[in-house]
Amino acid sequence: MATVVLLGTLDTKGDEYAFLRSLLVGHGVETILVDAGVLGEARTAADVAREDVARAAGADVAALAESGDRGAAVEIMARGASEIVTGLHAEGRLDGVLALGGSGGTAVAAEAMRALPVGVPKLIVSTMASGDTRPYVGATDVTMTYSVVDIAGINAVSSRILANAAAAMAGMVTSEPPPVEGGKPLVGATMFGVTTPCVTAARERLEELGYEVLVFHATGTGGQSMEALMRSGFITASLDITTTELADDLVGGVLSAGPDRLEAAGELRLRVLFHPPVATLPTLRARKIRSGDGSEWLRVGGVKLFLDGSLGSRTAWMLEPYAGSRDRGMPITSEAEARQAMTAAAASGIATTVHAIGDAAIDQTIRSFDKACADGTCSHRRHRIEHCGFIDERQMGEMQRLGLIPAPQPVFVRDFGDTYLNVLGEQRSAGCYPMARWQRRGLRPAMSSDTPVSDVNPFVNLYAALARTTLGGAVLGAEERLTLAEALSAYTENGAYACGVDDRLGTLEPGKVADIAVLNGDPFQAGVADLKDVEADLTLLAGRVVFDRQGEVR
């Protein structure tokens, strides 16, 4: 038999809840009555007492009543009610939630309902339902119906409204959800006008691969709705291409999804270091936001600055022309602009993350940092050069002096090495992404995948760092090969250092966070070519199992 949780303030709405309960029982539905009242005596008996609700929020109901602070009581009882209903749902004792009330009762019930997964029936009969309901509904599937008259006794109007609500809830909890054909995994994608071509192409390709794609308009509510479905377990992967909602929150736009946009990834146990575009620097400074601010799961990195393009398109800015051409690529940001941005960022405690692939762009990066960080602030800001693909010994020495961190992708050697040979020739291509020389100099290169440009699989990147072999079979700079121990250090320890979290992440040692991957074999016993096939059987994040291939860990 289905069970409906009735959640409300029984000191002011006890008679109405008793009436509602009798209606639900008449429909063949079991009920659990939860009392979230504080100030007066309950007018009907509850199954979950107010003392239990307050205790779930770490509070004492008698102290709340004595204080007489209605606002504090609403806040605390809402938090406690959220704990109660999520616990009942986890135990299989909640199929739907029904509530009624004025402003206070609606606030308590709505917060508790929003804590439940999308798809669980949620209905509030409220005097507040004819106005702006966004503060109550948020981005979830809470249903609100207007009470027409105040909820103060059972009369000719309220009895019909409550009867309709009881019938609606009974129907929702007793009906079977429609079968889903195919059982395709769901992918959430965010889209706005300028990202429509990209999202459309990605959606069509994902559908070809057997996924169902849900597209959300990034209007504030859209992103919140996607994250609500992520939290509820409906969406198994996210293609969050359009992060304009977070940008709007940072710079005062009208389509903000709130400051916690992207936090769902953290709640699902994914650490995110967000590098806002350099255009947001004035807002970051005005709000006194610094690199490292945020939570354990979502933190601010450095402002992102682009100085050149890519080598395959011949837009990476080079000191010498491309093979068979006079073209040397293109600078994207002037040296004066780069230096001004770096100086302003450093003065405000913000690192700079610079995209620079070509040696001319790297030269410009070094000169700009040299002038911007004349006060010696570079070394502890963890400034990074993303990619840092083509670099000579002189530039490495300057990077070492300034404390700049290379953030390369050895997998580019595999994926794009044949293109490098075509546009630069063998001699210049051999020195790309010089991992071994960086290691010897103590520059602490922080490996990454640059996904979705290349495969996100870390073992493919590890293989590339050891093999330095192109897809066409050519070896580029065999002397730049790393050992497996060096490559693992670059991916973990150096990565944590570049992100400014090496005090608690990056290595397994007492006092650090238990981020652990258990592999399906010992990579040190595998051949280089076999590294690509290594997989994680178990992943722990902060000591919690977040992935279990075999489903054997409880």
DSSP string covering 311-342, please?
TTTT-S--SSPPTTSS-----SS-HHHHHHHH
- The reported pLDDT for the residue numbered 256 is 83
- The reported pLDDT for the residue numbered 130 is 87
pLDDT digit string, tens, across residues 245-273: 877 777 777 888 787 787 776 566 778 88
Find the helix or strand (DSSP H, E) in which 87 lies.
helix 70-90
pLDDT digit string, tens, across residues 317-361: 999 999 999 999 999 999 999 999 999 999 899 999 999 999 999
- The reported pLDDT for the residue numbered 134 is 82
Q: Residue 2's beta-bridge partner residues?
A: none
pLDDT digit string, tens, across residues 158-198: 999 999 999 999 999 999 877 765 578 889 999 988 899 99
- The reported pLDDT for the residue numbered 247 is 77
pLDDT digit string, tens, across residues 204-222: 999 998 889 999 998 888 8
Q: For CA atoms 248, 253, 254, 260, give the dihedral sign.
A: positive
Secondary structure in 3-state letters for 429-460: HHCCCCHHHHHHHCCCCCCCCCCCCCCCCHHH
**Separation of alpha carbons 110 and 154, rounded Å:** 23
504: confidence class by pLDDT, cuts 50, 70, 90: very high
Q: Are 118 and 228 in contact (CB under 8 A)?
A: yes
Could you tell me which residue, 297 or 335, shows the higher pLDDT?
A: 335
535: pLDDT strictly greater than 70: yes
Q: What is the DSSP string of 165-203?
A: HHHHHHHHHHSPPPP-STTPPEEEEEE-GGGHHHHHHHH
Of residues 181, 165, 11, the one with CA closest to residue 96: 165
Q: Residue 519's beta-bridge partner residues?
A: 536
Task: Return the percentage of the chain with pLDDT > 90, whole number.
Answer: 69
Of residues 242, 238, 243, the one with CA closest to residue 206: 238
pLDDT digit string, tens, across residues 363-385: 999 999 998 887 665 556 899 99
Could you tell me which residue, 547 or 190, shows the higher pLDDT?
A: 190
Between the CA atoms of 504, 506, 510 and 513, what dihedral angle is there, to the nearest 10 degrees? Answer: 50
The total of other beta-carbon atoms located within 10 Å of residue 530's CB is 13
281: pLDDT strictly greater than 80: yes
DSSP E strands in 49-102: the ranges are 96-101
- The reported pLDDT for the residue numbered 180 is 62
Q: Are 441 and 396 in contact (CB under 8 A)?
A: yes
133: confidence class by pLDDT, cuts 50, 70, 90: confident
For 387: left if phi > 0, alpha if psi spans -120 to 50, otherwise beta; the answer is left
What letter does residue 41 receive in the DSSP assignment?
A: -
**Separation of alpha carbons 85 and 229, rounded Å:** 18
491: pLDDT strictly greater than 80: yes
- The reported pLDDT for the residue numbered 437 is 96
- The reported pLDDT for the residue numbered 552 is 72
Amino acid at 5: V
**Separation of alpha carbons 346 and 277, rounded Å:** 15
Q: Are 5 and 85 in contact (CB under 8 A)?
A: yes
Structural domains in the chain? 3-174 (3.40.50.12020), 183-268 (3.40.50.12030)
- The reported pLDDT for the residue numbered 268 is 62
Q: Residue 518's beta-bridge partner residues?
A: 538
The total of other beta-carbon atoms located within 10 Å of residue 272's CB is 14
Q: Are 121 and 29 in contact (CB under 8 A)?
A: no
pLDDT digit string, tens, across residues 28-84: 999 999 999 988 888 899 999 999 999 999 999 889 888 888 888 899 999 999 999
